[in-house]
Amino acid sequence: MTPQRRFLLGLAAVTGLLALAVVAPLAQYVLLAVLLAYVLVPLQRRLAPASATGSRR
């Protein structure tokens, strides 16, 4: 492995770790949002037709 390739590989690893450090604290909120969206889809499907027919004339 050439020194140039080793440097680029190390730079990519450091950049990846920094990106992970930035995103990791937000992961629980993203997962919670996905879970809420999945759980509330049946309620939204039930309420969507009622709000579409009664609100506009």
Radius of gyration of the chain (CA): 23
pTM of full prediction above 0.75: no
Domain boundaries, the chain: 25-57
Give the whole-angstrom CA distance, residue 42 versus residue 24: 30
Please write the tens of the pLDDT for every residue from 1-57.
899 999 999 999 999 999 999 989 999 998 999 999 999 999 889 888 877 765 554
The count of C-alpha atoms lying within 13 angstroms of the C-alpha of 8, restricted to the half-sphere facing its C-beta, is 5
Give the whole-angstrom CA distance, residue 15 versus residue 23: 12
